Amino acid sequence: MPPAAYPEEKVPYAFFDLILGIARTHPAVTVRDADGGIAGFGMLRPHNPMPAFARTAEITCFLRPDLTGRGIGPEVLGYLEAGARERGIACILASISSLNEGSIRFHRRHGFVECGRFRNVGSKRGVLFDVVWMQKEL
C-alpha cells in the first residue's frame, strides 16, 4: 500500500463490502479505466450515526496513481457533492494522512479547509504521521 494510505497491507475485498454496507444510504461511485478495470472509487458515509449529525458525511476517494491529474478526481467529487445535496448533507469531512500531500492539495483546491489535526497518531512502516481533518460546507 502507498505510504499515504492508512492500511499497512492490501485489504481484502470483504473490507470494501463492509464499508459499502456502512455507506449504503450515501452516494458512491466506481471509476473504470478504458479496459473496464477498477481505476478508483469515491463514497460518502455517515460521520456519526446520531441524528444530530445527519447533515455531515465523511468522504473517501481513491484513484490509481497513474490516473491522477486527468480530471477524474474533480468529477468524482462533483458527483458525490451533488448526491450529498440531494440527501440534505451540507458538510463533508475528509480524514487524510499527513503523508498524503497530494490529497491535501486536491481537497484544498476544491474548497476544503483544514479544521483539525491529530499529531503523530498514526504509524506506518515505522513512520509517524498526523491525521489531517478537512471540511467543506456545501
The pLDDT score that the predictor gives to residue 1 is: 46
Domains within the chain, CATH numbers bracketed: 13-137 (3.40.630.30)
The pLDDT score that the predictor gives to residue 16 is: 64
β partners of residue 128: 123
Run of H or E residues at 101 = helix 101-109
Name, in order, each residue with C-beta under 8 angstroms of 9's C-beta and a sequence gap of 6 or more. 1
The pLDDT score that the predictor gives to residue 3 is: 53
Handedness of CA 9, 12, 18, 20 (dihedral sign): positive
Q: 70 is written with which cell numbers?
A: 486527468
pLDDT digits (tens, 9 = 90+) for 89-136: 999 999 999 999 999 999 999 999 999 999 999 998 889 999 999 999
Give the span between the Cα atoms of 99 and 124, in whole angstroms: 10
pLDDT digits (tens, 9 = 90+) for 16-58: 677 667 778 899 998 888 898 888 889 999 999 999 999 999 9
